[in-house]
Structure 1
């Protein structure tokens, strides 16, 4: 019977038009990230649901990041709010909409999580984030990272409260790791995502470029790294309360980003800083361990 089931011809993922699936995958591929490779552990329906979620996030983020006044960005973000609201009424306009709608219906993705992502991108669009208060940073991270996680765990196959805890903590761990890795890259855009309280406690100026060369930056960054480790640990604890198979992509992301954080900690944050890269052989080993059934 198993052989007969596996040999049956499957239709296209999520029952969508192959052209729509190709459009969504192309958006992911153009981003140039390793995301598509990481999602290969998922079966086609879940993989394309994740591609659609990622494509939505990528396109909204592009609005926030483009060089344009906030007054020009706000109407486009408002369009995205209307577009997402329309999906929950069954209205679609293009291939991405159609794949997103199929994912929403199949995996019961929540409207408020899409809204939260747009809220986070609007925070980035309406101001230059420069040494925010820690509470403000946590709200921002919840919107741009943990909300994406809440959509993702449902596409992975787990909508339990424990899965939402994975999203809560893993989103924070990943985003803090990104912040610590991308300090100089963010500074080129006039942004500094390290929280004001930690910078002030370490004697770091709350301004660029002065903060980048301050001796206390190392202390502030190590404090944030410790916070990331806390969230990684809490995410792993929550994963143990979830079904193992749906958490495979989450385990892979956690292991990959924990390696980036560990490498960054070894390098430190004193100038001159170089963007951290994990060797390909080590990535393969990390993936093998993270996906091990044991």
Structure 2
């Protein structure tokens, strides 16, 4: 009787994450799923280096530099995940500078806890989300240039949704991603956010932010790359999932200072089944 092989380090990281993306990856063909699991593990590791408590700042910097230099110039003594991530670059013809952009975006969380303007926030969203999409479409095997615009716009939408949903959680860590110019425009104080005691103006500002996310969801779907639709099944499932999360946040009148708002496991499984079937049948 053959024994199944133990999960790789990347697979273990993905299994522990219980992320919406882990659900979406189930829609992919096995070889592309394996490579996306490796890429997800990279993103998770970089995010943990930047965010996990108990790591000295100098160590965080050294670890991020090791990843950046290794992916740009080659690792000296790579571990299992580093070898797997580095192998994605030639296999899918990915520009290694894209990996460096993700690292730069997540590294900014070490020092930057405020964003003055909306364009400044979008620049952050591009690095930590849209660039993730640009690498993903290479792994998905997308061929239509329009898939690039889809990835960028969907990345903005997903990250803005995360920011809106996680306002309370981020505040506990002293971070406010909502643009300072919007706080001033809507007459919202930082104290309301940091103390978890929102006033009526905060709800109005959150409605404004959520409309920005909705605009990006609509942009992503405005001119879909028809011939890549089946290749984008995982991305489209992510878009559907997070759009529903955003609608749930809006329906609950932006109660983002309590338990994290999300979809039930049953709802996620229903979305997974729908998009898996679409992928198998290669339909819209």
TM exceeds 0.5?
yes
Superimposed CA distance per residue, residues 109-147 of structure 1 (whole angstroms, 9 cap, x where no aligned partner):
1112101101101110123x1353212111110011111
CA distance in 1, matches of 2:28, 2:198: 43
Structure 1 residue 246: deviation in Å?
0.7
Match of 1:7 in 2: none
2:62 alignment counterpart: 75
Query: Residue 273 of structure 1: CA displacement?
Result: 4.1
Separation in 1 of the partners of 2:213 and 2:176?
17
For residue 134 of structure 1, what is the aligned residue in structure 2? 118
Out of 140, 143, 161, the residue aligned to residue 177 of structure 1 is: 161
Counterpart position of 1:64: 50
Deviations 1:253-283 (A, max 9, x none): 1111111011111001257644212233333
Partner of 1:199: 183
- Map Cα deviations across residues 153-189 of structure 1 (whole Å, 9 max, x no partner): 1111115421111111111101111111111111111
Matched-pair contact (CA < 8 Å) for 2:50–2:110: yes
Alignment match, 1:258: 243
Once residues 73 and 13 of structure 2 are traced to their aligned partners in structure 1, the CA distance between those partners, rounded to angstroms, is: 21
1:24 touches 1:51 (CA, 8 Å); kept in 2?
yes
Q: Distance in 2 between matches of 1:272 and 1:110?
A: 39
Give me the TM-score of the superposition, normalised by structure 1: 0.84
Q: Considering Cα pairs closer than 8 Å and 6+ residues apart, tell me whether 1 or 2 has the greater RCO.
A: 2
Corresponding position of 1:15: none
The farther-off stretch of 149-158 and 264-273 is: 264-273
Measure the CA separation in 1 of the matches of 2:95 and 2:256: 43
1:64·1:122 contact (CA, 8 Å) conserved in 2? yes
Bigger Cα displacement from structure 2, 151-160 vs 169-178: 151-160
Is 1:237–2:222 an aligned residue pair? yes
The answer to which of 98-107 and 261-270 deviates more is 98-107
Query: Contact 1:255/1:287 (CA < 8 Å) preserved in 2?
Result: no
Per-residue deviation at 1:104?
Answer: 1.7
Change (3 A) 1:56 1:167: same
Match of 1:219 in 2: 204
Residue of structure 2 equivalent to 1:149: 133
Contact map agreement 1:52 1:100 (CA 8 A) in 2: yes
1:108 equivalent in structure 2: 93
RMSD: 2.3
Q: How many residues align?
A: 273
> Cα–Cα, structure 1 residues 94 and 265, in superposed 2: closer, same or farther, change >3 Å?
same
Quote the offset at 1:216 in angstroms. 0.8
**TM-score, length basis structure 2:** 0.87
Question: Which has the higher mean CA deviation after the structures are superposed, 181-190 or 100-109?
Answer: 100-109
2:157·2:217 contact (CA, 8 Å) conserved in 1? yes
1:206 shift after superposition: 3.6
1:52 aligns with 2:38: yes
Measured after TM superposition, the shift of residue 70 of structure 1 is 3.7
Deviation string, structure 1 residues 45-78 (Cα, Å, up to 9, x no partner): 2111111111111111111113345444222211
